[in-house]
Amino acid sequence: MNPHLSFSQKIWKPRVPFQEGHRTVTRESGLEPFFAGILADRNLKDREEVRRFFEPRLGMLADPSGLKDMDKAVQRIILALHQQEKIAVFGDYDVDGATSSALLIRYFRRLGVELRLYVPDRLTEGYGPNEKAMVILADEGIRLVMTVDCGITAFAAMAAAHDRGMDVIITDHHQPRETLPTALAVINPNRADETFAHKELAGVGVAFYLVMALNRELRAQDFFSESRPQPDLKALLDLVAVGTIADVAPLTGMNRILVKVGLLTTENTQHVGLRTLQESARLSGRLSAGQVGFQIGPRINAGGRLSKGSLGAELLATDDPEQASTIASFLEQANRERQGIEEKIQKQALEQVMLLPKEQAIYGHVLAHKDWHPGVVGIVASRIAEKTYRPAIVIALDDHGIGKGSARSIPGIDLLRAIDACQSFLLGFGGHHAAAGLTIEQGQLPSFTEAFNRFLQENTPEEVFQMALLFDAQTQITDFPLETVYQLERLQPFGRGNPEPVFVFENVRVAEHRILKEKHLKCHLADLNGNTLEAIAFNVLPGLVGEGILSARQRLDVAGSLSVNRYQGRERIQLVIRDARLTDYGHRE
């Protein structure tokens, strides 16, 4: 073991340096001194920005008309409503797409309009709008199509829709090409010519912004009446929260507002599908970001990964308890099946990694197999990237030698830029800096792999590939009375762009411990003055961190996140351990 690393073989680094101004703002805001680094990491520079971050309100949302083509899209929808045209929503099959589709269906249902839902089959149609789908919709008499979470690179499909006299409103958040598809309106905060400041919106966030703008204009035109009441937009925010969290969008800016309020809405959701899904996952009350990411999201995704891609949207859109129960049960079974398939593919992918020549420097993994299911390669790519701390592309090859792959990155590497540099070997690709998808011929795999690794080697500092634990402050056990941990809780929801704060407690010893379920380690940490802190490390046994803590014969530095453990009416401060190292290694950052 490298003596300069922690038990998990990571270096520990401060997350971000802070300046004197952050100390001042921390003091003025009535926060403990260690909050200076937390404010710096979130770029909060004055008391007003701190207040807005701690107390996000819907009234703080940016004007939806600030998005290009928004007003044009709204006027076209209103025309369709007045002329009673048939309208379709074309959604992606992932959670972001499912929640976006359900959001529009539920809103338009309140207007007295039932949208036609079209979700492509992952295996036969692939991602996004396609020409065949546009022909089907046109033949059904659809006059207006709204895409959600897709469409920004669907040039052929948009041309096909135009040729058949259909208008298309694209709502998307993925990175566009140099030119935009031919559509009536293209609403995407990441358009190259877009001046809208808030680029972080997920697909469901963009869809909600469309509904916000539409609802405002309908209200201005006296569309609503006693017999046709105005829809409650706040009731839709649970869908926005679920889609945004599951898509791993940054929980900053407008997303922080939408997700914070949306999670509150889950406590008494009006949506029978989401409520049934919570029951299926044995969850009750208000959902947390973690529950959405690890329990709700995978269940919604399961239909699109293995079978019928529209099931997630249908579940979230239905008002029929019986239909919701049937779909939720199917998704529960599909999710269990997905877990089994994923486990098998992950094992095979890691075996490929282990067989790579030890003397060969690997900067990114490109793994492929003809027996892998294309519906789960994205999840496996995430696991491989996490375990190897290298960008990973996992590719499922079909019988014709065509590979459909998903790619996941690590912090510090723009994945889309790396893939774009190797596009001459690909049939197609798309995505963003952290995740992408691609299509490749089997014969091009060696050349693509070599080019991908060469680009990463030449354009990435070596330290990016060293696993690191980023911490926010070095603190003492006595720094955290219950009131201070309450302040930390106000930073929630945690996620990308708003990480849960990590604190380092130096020179502590394990005063007592016990092992739970043969894999969790519960203990009390004691400082030099005898002050103690309750702590727990999940899933660390067997493993380097758990065994390192138990076998240590000297004091430790322990890194972790603080929370309030609420049980049977009692509240206790608890540290969730992320990592540990021997204090004598003297690694002071």
pLDDT in tens, 14-64: 998 888 999 999 999 999 999 999 999 999 999 999 999 999 999 999 999
What pTM was computed for the model? 0.90
Look at residues 267, 256, 253, 258 and name the one whose alpha carbon lies nearest to residue 240: 258
Q: Would residue 34 count as lying in a domain?
A: no
User: pLDDT digit string (tens) for 521-577?
Assistant: 999 999 999 999 999 999 999 999 999 999 988 899 999 999 999 888 899 999 999
Q: Are residues 501 and 475 in the same domain?
A: yes
Say if 24 falls within a structural domain. no
Question: Count of H helices and E strands in the chain?
Answer: 20, 18
pLDDT tens track for 319-348: 999 999 999 999 999 999 999 999 999 999
Among candidate residues 465, 495, 529, the one where a domain is terminated? 465
pLDDT score for 212: 98
Domain annotation covers residue 281: yes
**Does some domain include residue 52?**
no
> 13 vs 20, 390, 442, 467, 535, CA distance in Å?
20, 19, 41, 10, 22
Residues 319, 213 share a domain: yes
Looking at the structure, do residues 416 and 497 belong to the same domain, yes or no? no
Residues 451 and 473 occupy one common structural domain: no
Q: How many domains does the chain have?
A: 3
Same domain membership, residue 151 and residue 265: yes
- Shared domain for 192 and 142, answered yes or no, is yes
| Confidence label for 585 from pLDDT (cuts 50, 70 and 90) | low
* 444: Cβ contacts below 8 Å, ≥ 6 apart: 425, 426
For residue 51, the model assigns a pLDDT of: 95
Q: Tell me: do 561 and 545 sit in the same domain.
A: yes
Residue 3: the pLDDT is 55
- CA distance to 54, 208, 259, 290, 292, per residue, from 494 (Å): 13, 21, 10, 8, 12
283 lies in some domain:
yes
- For residues 495 and 460, state if they share a domain: no
Could you give the percent of the chain with pLDDT greater than 70?
98
Q: Within this chain, do residues 376 and 239 fall inside the same structural domain, yes or no?
A: no
d(Cα 179, Cα 152) in Å, to the nearest integer? Answer: 10
Render pLDDT for 243-292 as a digit per residue (tens, 0 to 9).
Answer: 999 998 999 999 999 999 999 999 999 999 999 999 999 998 999 999 99
564 vs 570: CA distance, rounded Å: 10
Provide the CATH number for the domain around residue 369. 3.10.310.30
Question: pLDDT tier at 588 (50, 70, 90 boundaries)?
Answer: very low
Q: Residue 301 contacts by C-beta under 8 Å, 6 or more apart in sequence?
A: 94, 95, 246, 312, 335, 338
Four-residue CA torsion sign, 426, 362, 412, 247:
positive
Tens digit of each residue's pLDDT (9 = 90 or more) over 446-462: 999 999 999 999 999 99
Strand residues in 59-187 grouped as ranges (E): 86-91, 116-118, 142-148, 167-171, 185-187
Instruction: Confirm whether 59 is domain-assigned.
Output: no
- Do 428 and 554 fall into the same domain? no
Give residue 2's pLDDT band: very low, low, confident or very high (50, 70, 90): low
What 3-state DSSP class applies to 439?
Answer: strand
Residue 349 maps to a domain: no
Query: Do 390 and 273 have their domain in common?
Result: no
Helix ranges (DSSP H) in 146-271: 155-163, 203-220, 237-246, 253-265
Q: What percent of the chain has pLDDT over 90?
A: 88
- End-of-domain residue from the set 409, 430, 465: 465
Residue 114 structural domain: 64-333
CATH number of the domain that residue 533 is part of: 2.40.50.460
Residue 116: give its domain's CATH number: 3.90.1640.30
Burial of 522 (0-12, 13-18, 19+ CB in 10 A): middle
Residues 327 and 279 occupy one common structural domain: yes
Last residue of a domain, which of 422, 442, 465?
A: 465
555 assigned to some structural domain: yes
Summarised one tens digit per residue, pLDDT across range 197-221 is 999 999 999 999 999 999 999 999 9
